[in-house]
Amino acid sequence: MPRLVKIFDTTLRDGTQCEGIAYSMEDKVRIARRLDQLGVHYIEGGWPGSNPKDVRFFQEMQGVSLRHAKLTAFGSTRRPGVRPEADANLQRLVEARTPVTTVYGKSWDFQVIEALGTTLEENLAMIADSVAFLRPKFEEVIYDAEHFFDGFKGNQEYALRSLEAAAKAGASVLVLCDTNGGTLPHEVVEIIRAVKSRVSTPLGIHVHNDAECAVANSMAAIMEGVDHVQGTINGIGERCGNANLCSVIPNVMLKLRLPCLPEGSLAELREVSRFVSELANRPAWQHQPYVGDSAFAHKGGMHVSAVTKHPETYEHVNPELVGNRRRVLVSELAGQSNILWKAQQAGIDLTKNTPEVRQLLQTLKELEDQGFEFEGAEGSFQLLMEKATGAVQEAFDLEGWRVVVEKRGDAPPVSEATIKLHVRGIPEHTAAEGNGPVSALDNALRKALDEFYPNLKTMSLRDYKVRILEQTHGTSAKTRVLISSGDAHETWGTVGVSANIIEASWQALVDSVVYKLRMDERRVKPGQPAPADQAKG
């Protein structure tokens, strides 16, 4: 039977110390439920002695039934010169009514003297008294040895004595903390070996990422026999963050072949990563290993050709194991393999070495030379592929458009767009205002098309980005506009390029509309009228 590596998630405690993150109490409850569904062993919910929100969180969690995880509260050892029974922080830990509690103490003599302002012997008594007071009241008491690795380097004997004090008092696990995040993997290995020669209590690891070694240090500890690993989803945390569980967990399960999540849960990892990012109101980390959008994205033509034959040529694991997917990017580096892969994924009938594919590849390279970029505009590229096969019919014929921006006095500028076009031979002449010229143009286009294509009402613009392509040309420089649009089914990107930013925006807007109409046509069941057929005309 392989040994079990237990995952201790501190996203809701250490993770909230990340700059720019402030979860509501309701957010914390939702994340706790999702972490429990993932199958982590411990969820550290916060520090009930530090703020009212965490007190309310632990009260709310009394009515939440967790299937896999044990909820734990976090706090410090008693204060110098204060009995445990009289220490308010320890009492708050008891009042949180969690099955497990985590208490931290000082392992570094420098911290004891300079930060706590007490004696080394009193600090050892604080550790022992606190653990002994808590132990009868909980299923487990986890002891976090703060600054342990720095303490070991500064005063090895004292750091070990601090662990022994917690162990003798009944601590279930002794967690070695690299609080400042500056320890390297080889040091972690050496120090853990020294600790294991001195204490027999199970060990844990809690490391920060200030030297970009948090995941490596966690893995080094696990390979030294440490079976309790602490970290956060997406590696969020104070300063440079904590060990990233979205990397640690798959490393343990796929590389070391050790269990740490219930069977089947690993495939939920990407979704959990994005869920936590969403509640933190932060964009998902695109290049994050395992779960990021770019983790299994291939751009070079030779790479794509190899991956289509044998994925392991350029992928260290199957992306589906962590809930991710393989992506093939299109750019001036692309070959026919990139295009054929994208066509297959989109259900478009293209065959290698046909005139359509060769022409499409040439068009792609010409457009990218002009400044188009399709890595973030897969909607526009799919339309290019469909046009190459003659599958896309024009949604309308443009006669022309005009945009006017008027500024009077101190009032905000007013933007108005006018559009003339034909839809199925029917002329449409519409005007609309907006919060800016692009907004006005978008509103006018939708107004002209709504009666013909009512399903456009379910589409919204999600993001709008402008990139200057010729930095030395000032205000006359060519610009690239990337638009992200979405509906209830998916989100897609489209692109436009022009020296006129409104024209570039128009190109991207039109592609976003046409892509929406095309995807809705594909979603219609056989024999069912398309959304456009149910409308005017």
Q: What is the pLDDT of residues 46-74, one digit of tens each?
A: 999 788 999 999 999 999 999 999 999 99
Domain boundaries of the chain, sorted by first residue = 6-262, 397-534
Question: Among 501, 505, 437, which residue's Cα sits nearest to residue 473?
Answer: 501
Amino acid letter, 346:
A
pTM above 0.75, yes or no: no
- Between CA 271 and CA 23 the distance in angstroms is 18
pLDDT of residue 524: 58
Alpha-carbon distances of 77 from 71, 177, 294, 412, rounded to whole Å:
19, 15, 43, 58
- Residue 99 has a pLDDT of 98
| pLDDT at residue 160, as a whole number | 98
Alpha helix stretches (DSSP H) within 62-108: 88-95
HSE, side-chain direction, 13 A CA sphere, residue 414: 8
Per the model's pLDDT, the better-predicted residue between 48 and 293 turns out to be 48
Distance (Å, rounded) from C-alpha 69 to C-alpha 35?
Answer: 8
Tell me which of 95-99, 123-127, 149-153, 347-351 is least confident: 347-351
- For residue 346, pLDDT over 80 is answered with no
Residue 277 CA, chain-centre distance (Å), reads: 5
Q: What is the pLDDT of residue 229?
A: 98
Task: Name 404's bridge partners.
Answer: 416
Residues 108, 112, 113: CA angle, nearest 5 degrees: 120
Residue 195 dihedral angles phi and psi, to the nearest 5°: -65, -45
- Give the DSSP letter of residue 63: T
Name the CA dihedral angle for 295, 301, 306, 307, rounded to a multiple of 10 degrees. Answer: 30
DSSP 489: S
Task: Report which of residues 254 and 488 the model is more confident about.
Answer: 254
Does the pLDDT at position 38 exceed 90?
yes
Residue type, 497: V
Tell me what pLDDT residue 527 has. Answer: 47
User: Torsions phi, psi of 337, nearest 5?
Assistant: -60, -40
| Model confidence pLDDT, tens digit, residues 425-478 | 899 999 999 989 999 999 999 999 999 999 999 998 888 888 888 766 777 788
Instruction: Share the mean pLDDT of the chain.
Output: 89
CA dist 498 and 502 (Å) reads 8
Helix, strand, coil percent content, the chain, rounded in steps of 5:
45, 20, 35
pLDDT at 357 over 90: no
What's the DSSP call for residue 242? Answer: B
> With 60 as the cut, is the pLDDT of residue 106 above it?
yes
- The architecture (CATH level 2) of 397-534 comes to 2-Layer Sandwich (3.30)
**Which of 477 and 208 is assigned the larger pLDDT?**
208
State the average pLDDT over residues 279-289: 87
So what's the pLDDT on residue 86?
96
Residue whose structure tokens are 């409850």:
29
Q: List 428's β-bridge partners, or say none.
A: 421
Give pLDDT, residue 471. Answer: 66
Report the alpha-carbon distance of residue 246 to residue 235 in Å, rounded. 8
- The CA-based diameter of the chain, rounded to the nearest angstrom, is 90
pLDDT of residue 167: 98
Q: So what's the pLDDT on residue 526?
A: 44
Q: What is the pLDDT of residue 536?
A: 46
Q: What is the CA radius of gyration of the chain?
A: 29
What local confidence, expressed as pLDDT, does residue 466 receive?
87
| pLDDT at residue number 534 | 43
Does the pLDDT at position 13 exceed 80? yes
pLDDT of residue 336: 64
Looking at the predicted structure, is the pLDDT value of residue 146 above 70?
yes
**C-alpha span between 350 and 337 (Å, rounded):** 11
How many degrees, rounded to 5, is the angle at CA 93 between CA 57 and CA 96?
A: 35
Confidence class for position 532, pLDDT limits 50, 70, 90? very low
Give the residue from 164, 175, 169, 159 showing the smallest Cα distance to 131. 169
CA–CA gap between residue 315 and residue 292 (Å, rounded) = 14
Mean pLDDT, rounded, for 155-170: 98
Confidence band, pLDDT 50/70/90 cuts, at residue 335: low
Q: 441: which 2 tokens?
A: 């143009």
Q: Quote the CA–CA distance of 35 and 269 in Å, as a whole number.
A: 10
From the number of C-beta atoms within 10 Å of its C-beta (0-12, 13-18, 19+), residue 210 rates as middle
Interval 404-430: pLDDT, tens: 999 988 888 999 999 999 998 899 999
Is the confidence at residue 240, as pLDDT, over 70? yes
Residue 200 one-letter amino acid: S
- CATH of range 6-262; options 1.10.110.30, 3.40.50.10320, 3.20.20.70, 3.40.50.880: 3.20.20.70
What Å distances lie between residue 209 and 19, 73, 134, 235, 241, CA to CA?
14, 23, 30, 8, 5
* pLDDT of 375 over the 70 cut: no
As given in the structure block, the two tokens for residue 494 are 């489209």
pLDDT > 70 fraction of the chain, expressed in percent and rounded: 92
- Residue 462 has a pLDDT of 82
pLDDT value of position 537: 41
d(CA 98, CA 321): 33
